[in-house]
Amino acid sequence: MADLLTQEEIDRALATELPRWAQQGEAITRSVTAPTFMDGIRLVQQVAEVAEDLDHHPDIDIRWTTITFTLSTHSAGGLTMKDLRLAGDIDRLAD
C-alpha cells in the first residue's frame, strides 16, 4: 500500500509542481475547459489510458466542455505519491 503524504508534502507539491490543483479534503482536484466537447472527450480518453497503465484511476466529471479530475488513493485513505504523479500526467496532457 502507498504511504500517505503529510500536509506539508501536499502543500509543497500544490504550490510548486501542481499549481492548478486544489486540495479538497482527502483529495486534489482540477477542472480543465476544453475547446469543444469532443476535445474534452479525447482528453478523458488520454487520461484513462495513462491511469490504466498506472493502475490508479481518477474520478472524472464531464460537464459539456469542463472536465473535472479528482484524485485520491482510496485504499490508503488519502493522498499519496500516486496522486501527485497522475496529476502531473494530467497537467501534461491538458496543456
- Residue 52, H or E segment: helix 37-54
Query: Over the stretch 62-83, which tens digit does the pLDDT of each residue have?
Result: 999 999 999 999 989 999 999 9
pLDDT for res 41: 98
Sheet order of strands, 27-33 included: 22-24, 27-33, 66-71, 59-63
**CA angle (73, 79, 80) in 5-degree steps:** 80
Query: Over the stretch 25-47, which tens digit does the pLDDT of each residue have?
Result: 999 999 999 999 999 999 999 99
pLDDT for res 1: 59
Q: What is the mean pLDDT of residues 47-52?
A: 98
pLDDT for res 2: 77
Residue 50 has pLDDT above 90, yes or no: yes
Q: Do residues 84 and 18 lie in contact, with contact meaning Cβ atoms separated by under 8 Å? A: yes
